[in-house]
Amino acid sequence: MIRQEVNDQLSRPLQDLRISIMDRCNFRCSYCMPAEIFGPDHVFMSEEELLSFDEIIRSAEQFAALGVKKIRLTGGEPLLRKDVPELVASLRTIEGIEDVALTTNAVLLTKQAKSLYDAGLERVNVSLDALDPEVFQTMSGRKTKPDAVLHGIDAATDAGLGVKVNMVVKKGVNDGEVIPMARYCKQKGITLRFIEFMDVGQTNGWEFSQVVSKKELYEQVSQIALLEPVERDYFGEVASRYRYVGSDVEVGFISSVTETFCGSCTRARLSADGKLFTCLFSESGFDLRALLREGVTDSQIRDWIRAVWEKREDRYSELRTEETAKNRNKIEMSYIGG
Ligand code: SAM
Ligand code: SF4
Ligand code: SF4
């Protein structure tokens, strides 16, 4: 009932909520948390700063009442947080939430896949940028072997979870892995999604020359087999999807740099310390945690979210230049939750 009333008042679609549940990570990917910056002295959030599970659930209930149908847990590395299956189980009971998913580097997935599935998790997106151990280590900034991720993928599939693999491509670093990764995923029947390297945050040294465009990626993947386009499933879907002709295996391209999609962006983000962001490239967020801890009513929280969302005018990817990439105080990906 509440859902219907409030939905009627929202003029901009808000369908997806990404919740970062942990700002720490066991990797130091060069494009996200470069080891030179996120070194041993880096100060992460304290337990007190993180939203508690109760606060996350209460927030998610209000977003659901405003029309959010999908929740994705992310980070940092979400599986570094304790008891994630419990959180998933609670989120699954919220009226209006149709889908709970998780994005992970999969190192801790082997142990947790079954309990996550049993808790009601539908799908995982696993980040894997290379199969070659050296290239993988250069991208991930750690000595971990890609096998740890591959085992996580197998465990997730065996547990019954839907699995997609995300690969960020950096020119001159892992672009030689595009075809091996595409072959591997095709043979396993897993959707691989190539993500153009983005200028999120201020620490990853992004330059346009390091971006491998969707067009270049498409041409490379087409060497394996012909591709045919697949219709979008829903408004706001970010990947352009293709299928290998003669199979039902898909491949996707998330072209946030060369073919922007701000006009159909329906996604809000909640950082691990409870700041609401209306764009991945925002310079600041809105402090939902303060509100939750002030003891306001659910209805006041919904009014507040609605006010933030209705004022939204984000379209950073349409405005991006080398200048904006360098000179804006953009929040880090590991903080905002990818
Ligand atoms: N640690 C988890 C993981 O890596 O899957 C979840 C958080 S991570 C920030 C979420 C996603 O953001 C990953 O798929 C990662 O590849 C992507 N990502 C991070 N930095 C990026 C960048 N600069 N450009 C494009 N994608 C990026
Ligand atoms: Fe960690 Fe994910 Fe960022 Fe890599 S992309 S550093 S795994 S949060
Ligand atoms: Fe959405 Fe901002 Fe990305 Fe545009 S740049 S698609 S508004 S998150």
Rounded CA separation 266/336 (Å): 16
**Ligand 2 pocket member 80 (CB < 6 A):** no
Ligand 1: which atom is nearest the Cα of residue 126? 5
Contact 140, 129 (CB under 8 A): yes
Alpha helices in 222-294 (DSSP H): 288-294
Instruction: Find out whether the beta carbon of 265 lies less than 6 Å from any atom of ligand 3.
Output: yes
Mean pLDDT of the chain: 92
- Cβ-based burial of 284 (10 A; exposed 0-12, middle 13-18, buried ≥19): exposed
5 pLDDT above the threshold of 50: no
The set of residues, in sequence order, having a beta carbon less than 8 Å from that of 127 and lying 6+ positions away, is 29, 103, 104, 105, 106, 149, 165, 166, 167, 168
Check residue 256 and give its pLDDT: 85
* Model confidence band, residue 335 (pLDDT cutoffs 50, 70, 90): confident
- pLDDT score at 264: 83
Highest mean pLDDT among 142-156, 195-209, 247-261, 307-321: 142-156
- The verdict on whether residue 185 carries a ligand-binding annotation is no
pLDDT of residue 333: 82
Residue 64 has pLDDT above 90, yes or no: yes
Whether the pLDDT of residue 44 is over 90: the answer is yes
Let me know: does 127 contact 105? Beta carbons within 8 Å.
Answer: yes
Among 4-8, 24-28, 30-34, 181-185, which is the least confidently predicted range? 4-8
Q: Which atom of ligand 1 is nearest to the CA of 27?
A: 1
Higher pLDDT, 265 or 296: 296
pLDDT, position 4:
45
**Does the annotation flag 72 for ligand binding?**
yes
Atom of ligand 1 nearest to the CA of 197: 24
CA distance 137 to 305: 40
Q: At what angle do helices 133-140 and 146-159 cross, to 10 degrees?
A: 90
CB 131, CB 170: distance < 8 Å? no
Highest mean pLDDT among 171-175, 205-209, 236-240: 171-175
Predicted local distance difference test score (pLDDT) of residue 320: 82
Asked if the model's pLDDT at residue 237 lies above 90, the reply is no
Q: What is the mean pLDDT of residues 80-84?
A: 97
Rounded to whole angstroms, the Cα distance separating 64 from 2 reads: 10
pLDDT at 11: 66
Q: Is the CB of 79 under 6 A from ligand 2?
A: no
Q: Summarize the confidence of residues 60-86 as an average pLDDT.
A: 97
The predicted pLDDT at position 10 comes to 63
**How much is the CA Rg of the chain, to the nearest whole Å?**
19
pLDDT band at 6 (very low <50, low <70, confident <90, very high): very low
Pairing, β 267-270 against β 250-254: unpaired
Task: List CB contacts of 271: < 8 A, sequence separation 6 or more.
Answer: 20, 23, 277, 285, 331, 335, 336, 337
Does 269 appear as a known binding residue?
yes
Return the CATH fold of 2-336. TIM Barrel (3.20.20)
Whose CA is closest to 242, among 253, 233, 257, 234?
Answer: 253
**How high is the pLDDT of residue 143?**
94
